[in-house]
Amino acid sequence: MLVKLGGSLARHPALAAWLAAVRDAPGPPGRLVVPGGGPFADAVRALEVPLGLDATTAHRCAVLAMQQYGLMLVARAPGLRPVETEDEIAALARDGAAGVWLPWRLAGTTPELEPSWAVTADSIAAWLATRLRARALVIVKARTPPAAEVDALTAAGILDAAFPRYRRRFAGPVRVVGATPPPGPGRLSALLAP
Protein backbone atom coordinates (compact mmCIF):
# COMPACT_ATOMS: atom_id res chain seq x y z
CA MET A 1 0.00 0.00 0.00
CA LEU A 2 1.55 3.26 -1.12
CA VAL A 3 0.73 6.75 0.12
CA LYS A 4 2.38 9.52 -1.87
CA LEU A 5 2.71 12.64 0.29
CA GLY A 6 3.24 15.61 -1.99
CA GLY A 7 5.97 18.13 -1.50
CA SER A 8 3.30 20.80 -1.07
CA LEU A 9 2.61 19.22 2.33
CA ALA A 10 6.07 20.15 3.68
CA ARG A 11 4.65 22.95 5.84
CA HIS A 12 1.03 21.76 5.88
CA PRO A 13 -0.54 21.36 9.34
CA ALA A 14 -1.96 17.95 8.37
CA LEU A 15 1.41 16.39 7.47
CA ALA A 16 2.04 14.99 10.96
CA ALA A 17 -1.41 13.38 11.02
CA TRP A 18 -0.83 11.71 7.63
CA LEU A 19 2.53 10.34 8.75
CA ALA A 20 1.01 9.04 11.99
CA ALA A 21 -1.87 7.45 10.08
CA VAL A 22 0.51 5.58 7.78
CA ARG A 23 2.58 4.45 10.75
CA ASP A 24 -0.37 3.46 12.96
CA ALA A 25 -3.06 2.28 10.52
CA PRO A 26 -4.51 -1.13 11.30
CA GLY A 27 -4.78 -3.58 8.50
CA PRO A 28 -2.33 -4.52 5.83
CA PRO A 29 1.35 -4.37 6.79
CA GLY A 30 3.98 -2.89 4.54
CA ARG A 31 2.49 0.59 4.24
CA LEU A 32 4.90 2.84 2.41
CA VAL A 33 5.15 6.62 2.03
CA VAL A 34 6.38 7.85 -1.34
CA PRO A 35 7.79 11.36 -0.80
CA GLY A 36 7.26 14.27 -3.12
CA GLY A 37 10.11 16.64 -3.82
CA GLY A 38 8.89 19.65 -1.87
CA PRO A 39 11.18 22.64 -1.45
CA PHE A 40 14.12 20.51 -2.54
CA ALA A 41 12.60 19.94 -6.00
CA ASP A 42 11.64 23.63 -6.16
CA ALA A 43 15.36 24.42 -5.79
CA VAL A 44 16.19 22.11 -8.70
CA ARG A 45 13.55 23.80 -10.89
CA ALA A 46 14.87 27.24 -9.99
CA LEU A 47 18.49 26.31 -10.74
CA GLU A 48 17.99 24.17 -13.85
CA VAL A 49 18.27 27.01 -16.38
CA PRO A 50 20.79 29.23 -14.53
CA LEU A 51 23.13 26.26 -14.07
CA GLY A 52 22.53 24.91 -17.58
CA LEU A 53 21.37 21.48 -16.44
CA ASP A 54 20.30 19.04 -19.14
CA ALA A 55 17.00 17.15 -18.72
CA THR A 56 18.61 13.96 -17.45
CA THR A 57 20.66 15.76 -14.81
CA ALA A 58 17.67 17.84 -13.68
CA HIS A 59 15.55 14.67 -13.43
CA ARG A 60 18.18 12.92 -11.35
CA CYS A 61 18.52 15.97 -9.10
CA ALA A 62 14.72 15.93 -8.67
CA VAL A 63 14.80 12.26 -7.62
CA LEU A 64 17.47 13.22 -5.09
CA ALA A 65 15.10 16.00 -3.96
CA MET A 66 12.53 13.28 -3.24
CA GLN A 67 15.24 11.46 -1.28
CA GLN A 68 15.86 14.58 0.82
CA TYR A 69 12.14 15.11 1.42
CA GLY A 70 11.87 11.45 2.41
CA LEU A 71 14.66 11.85 4.96
CA MET A 72 12.81 14.87 6.37
CA LEU A 73 9.63 12.76 6.66
CA VAL A 74 11.51 10.01 8.52
CA ALA A 75 12.85 12.60 10.97
CA ARG A 76 9.31 13.94 11.51
CA ALA A 77 7.76 10.51 12.10
CA PRO A 78 9.69 8.21 14.41
CA GLY A 79 8.59 4.66 13.77
CA LEU A 80 8.53 4.98 9.98
CA ARG A 81 11.46 2.98 8.66
CA PRO A 82 13.55 4.40 5.78
CA VAL A 83 13.77 1.86 2.95
CA GLU A 84 15.48 1.92 -0.43
CA THR A 85 15.41 -1.50 -2.07
CA GLU A 86 12.67 -3.96 -2.95
CA ASP A 87 14.05 -6.36 -0.35
CA GLU A 88 13.82 -3.67 2.35
CA ILE A 89 10.29 -2.83 1.22
CA ALA A 90 9.30 -6.52 1.38
CA ALA A 91 10.72 -6.69 4.91
CA LEU A 92 8.25 -4.00 5.98
CA ALA A 93 5.38 -6.37 5.23
CA ARG A 94 7.08 -9.30 6.93
CA ASP A 95 7.71 -7.17 10.01
CA GLY A 96 4.24 -5.62 10.07
CA ALA A 97 5.91 -2.22 9.77
CA ALA A 98 5.52 0.98 7.77
CA GLY A 99 8.18 3.06 6.09
CA VAL A 100 9.30 5.90 3.87
CA TRP A 101 10.78 5.06 0.49
CA LEU A 102 14.08 6.74 -0.36
CA PRO A 103 13.93 6.56 -4.17
CA TRP A 104 17.44 7.07 -5.49
CA ARG A 105 18.57 3.42 -5.64
CA LEU A 106 15.50 2.23 -7.58
CA ALA A 107 14.46 5.35 -9.49
CA GLY A 108 17.55 7.51 -9.82
CA THR A 109 18.91 6.18 -13.08
CA THR A 110 16.29 3.75 -14.39
CA PRO A 111 15.45 4.17 -18.08
CA GLU A 112 11.82 3.31 -17.20
CA LEU A 113 11.26 6.91 -16.03
CA GLU A 114 11.33 9.67 -18.61
CA PRO A 115 13.86 12.36 -17.60
CA SER A 116 11.57 15.41 -17.76
CA TRP A 117 9.40 17.56 -15.54
CA ALA A 118 6.40 15.70 -17.00
CA VAL A 119 7.43 12.89 -14.64
CA THR A 120 7.25 14.05 -11.04
CA ALA A 121 6.73 12.13 -7.81
CA ASP A 122 3.12 11.39 -8.86
CA SER A 123 4.25 9.33 -11.86
CA ILE A 124 7.14 7.86 -9.90
CA ALA A 125 4.66 6.68 -7.24
CA ALA A 126 2.54 5.00 -9.94
CA TRP A 127 5.69 3.44 -11.43
CA LEU A 128 6.68 2.07 -8.00
CA ALA A 129 3.14 0.82 -7.33
CA THR A 130 3.31 -1.14 -10.58
CA ARG A 131 6.79 -2.49 -9.87
CA LEU A 132 5.79 -3.62 -6.36
CA ARG A 133 2.34 -4.86 -7.42
CA ALA A 134 0.91 -2.71 -4.64
CA ARG A 135 -2.71 -3.22 -3.65
CA ALA A 136 -3.54 0.51 -3.81
CA LEU A 137 -2.04 3.96 -4.33
CA VAL A 138 -3.23 7.06 -2.47
CA ILE A 139 -1.92 10.42 -3.65
CA VAL A 140 -2.32 13.21 -1.10
CA LYS A 141 -2.40 16.80 -2.32
CA ALA A 142 -2.37 19.96 -0.19
CA ARG A 143 -5.79 20.97 -1.50
CA THR A 144 -8.75 18.70 -2.03
CA PRO A 145 -8.95 17.97 -5.74
CA PRO A 146 -12.30 17.99 -7.48
CA ALA A 147 -13.82 14.57 -7.91
CA ALA A 148 -12.60 13.80 -11.40
CA GLU A 149 -10.93 11.20 -13.56
CA VAL A 150 -7.15 11.01 -13.85
CA ASP A 151 -7.13 12.70 -17.27
CA ALA A 152 -9.09 15.67 -15.90
CA LEU A 153 -6.81 15.96 -12.86
CA THR A 154 -3.82 15.90 -15.23
CA ALA A 155 -5.36 18.55 -17.48
CA ALA A 156 -5.96 20.72 -14.40
CA GLY A 157 -2.29 20.39 -13.39
CA ILE A 158 -3.15 18.50 -10.20
CA LEU A 159 -1.31 15.40 -11.43
CA ASP A 160 1.78 15.53 -13.62
CA ALA A 161 1.55 15.23 -17.39
CA ALA A 162 2.91 11.67 -17.57
CA PHE A 163 0.72 10.30 -14.80
CA PRO A 164 -2.03 8.80 -17.01
CA ARG A 165 0.57 6.72 -18.85
CA TYR A 166 2.13 5.36 -15.65
CA ARG A 167 -1.28 4.90 -14.03
CA ARG A 168 -2.50 2.70 -16.91
CA ARG A 169 0.26 0.20 -16.07
CA PHE A 170 -0.92 -0.13 -12.45
CA ALA A 171 -3.67 -2.69 -11.84
CA GLY A 172 -4.82 -1.41 -8.45
CA PRO A 173 -7.03 1.48 -7.42
CA VAL A 174 -5.66 5.03 -7.32
CA ARG A 175 -7.22 7.63 -5.05
CA VAL A 176 -6.30 11.32 -5.17
CA VAL A 177 -7.33 13.11 -1.98
CA GLY A 178 -6.78 16.38 -0.19
CA ALA A 179 -4.71 16.64 2.97
CA THR A 180 -7.67 17.86 4.98
CA PRO A 181 -9.41 16.58 6.91
CA PRO A 182 -6.40 14.75 8.32
CA PRO A 183 -6.95 11.01 8.38
CA GLY A 184 -7.27 8.78 11.34
CA PRO A 185 -5.87 5.28 10.91
CA GLY A 186 -9.37 3.99 10.05
CA ARG A 187 -9.85 6.43 7.17
CA LEU A 188 -6.44 5.55 5.76
CA SER A 189 -7.26 1.85 5.91
CA ALA A 190 -10.47 2.55 3.95
CA LEU A 191 -8.54 4.55 1.34
CA LEU A 192 -6.01 1.75 0.98
CA ALA A 193 -8.64 -0.96 0.56
CA PRO A 194 -8.72 -2.39 -2.96
- For residue 57, what pLDDT is reported? 96
CB 139 within 8 A of CB 122: yes
DSSP E strands, 128-192: 137-141, 174-178
Residue 181's pLDDT band (cuts 50, 70, 90):
confident
pLDDT > 70? residue 194: no
- Whole-number Å distance between alpha carbons of 99 and 80: 4
Q: Where are the domains of the chain?
A: 2-192
Annotation: CATH topology of 2-192: Carbamate kinase (3.40.1160)
Torsion, Cα 177 122 6 144, to 10 degrees, reads: -20
pTM higher than the cut 0.85: yes
- Whole-number Å distance between alpha carbons of 123 and 71: 20
Which strand ranges, in their side-by-side order, compose the sheet holding 137-141?
81-83, 98-101, 31-35, 2-5, 137-141, 174-178
